[in-house]
Amino acid sequence: MSFDAIPTDYSVARIVETVEQILGAGVLPPIIQAGHPVLRHVAAPYDGQLSDADLGHLIDLMRSVMHKAPGVGLAAPQLGIPLQLAVLEDQFEVDPEVAAVRGREPLPFFAMLNPRYQPLGTATAAFYEGCLSIGGLQAAVLRPESVRLDYTTPDGTQLERSFTGWQARIVQHETDHVHGVLYLDRAELRSLSNNAEYAARWSQPDISRARKELGFLPGPAED
């Protein structure tokens, strides 16, 4: 199946056909890039469209694609599959200072179906984010610091979990994907940087330098 042939309709037959073609290809599929409509529609809620075996194989494949990219999350629409399914895992080694400032702790692998999140409290935090479907760019995104995630596990169990810090950011980013939202929709566009500029100038633990020099999210003294 070619990149351009990826379907954007939600019929069970087309979803199953797409998954079977991806699983049967014998290679890791490419990650769909921004501009493809599959990333801009609310994906179909998962309600048993796939067999348990195919769902398990798809989750395994998504995990492999995520690792190869590499990334900390991947949603089914990023493979051209309009289903509310995403995988998440953050086991990267991070500088302790960066981890402390960003509230970044390891996130064990899990897959979530039909996710929804709600902010817990009013605290927010802004940090740079990137996306496997928006190659070469990063931008600062202001998000709730803590969220409650409601989702279904692959075995059909409905769960409610709380996340904070960087884990909450990953959860929000991937949940947004299955609802047709990209991180740039929530980003401070004046912060937008290509990867080289980000690495050279803005990769400090926090965004204070970028905020000041690029002129976004002014602090209290600058309001």
Q: Which pLDDT score is estimated for 10?
A: 73
The whole-angstrom separation of Cα 187 and Cα 183 is: 6
The whole-angstrom separation of Cα 206 and Cα 116 is: 27
Going by C-beta distance under 8 Å and a sequence separation of 6 or more, which residues neighbour residue 15?
7, 44, 49, 50, 81, 82, 83
- pLDDT digits 0-9 by tens, 5-32: 455 567 889 999 999 999 999 999 999 9
- pLDDT digits 0-9 by tens, 111-140: 999 999 999 999 999 999 999 999 999 999
Mean pLDDT of 145-152: 98
pLDDT band at residue 219 using 50, 70 and 90 as cut-offs: low
The whole-angstrom separation of Cα 110 and Cα 154 is: 9
Q: Is the pLDDT of residue 84 over 60?
A: yes
Q: Which pLDDT score is estimated for 222?
A: 45
The whole-angstrom separation of Cα 137 and Cα 129 is: 9
Quote helix, strand, coil % in the chain, to nearest 5.
40, 25, 35
The whole-angstrom separation of Cα 88 and Cα 177 is: 12
Q: Is the pLDDT of residue 154 over 60?
A: yes
Catalytic entry in 89, 129, 145, 174: 174
Output phi, psi for 135, to 5 deg.
-65, 140
Q: CA geometry: angle at 39 spanning 122 and 76, to 5°?
A: 90
Are 140 and 211 in contact by the 8 Å Cβ rule? The answer is yes
The whole-angstrom separation of Cα 220 and Cα 114 is: 38
Q: Note the pTM of the prediction, 2 decimals.
A: 0.93
Are 20 and 55 in contact by the 8 Å Cβ rule? The answer is no
Q: Is the pLDDT of residue 184 over 50?
A: yes
Judge whether 174 counts as a catalytic residue: yes
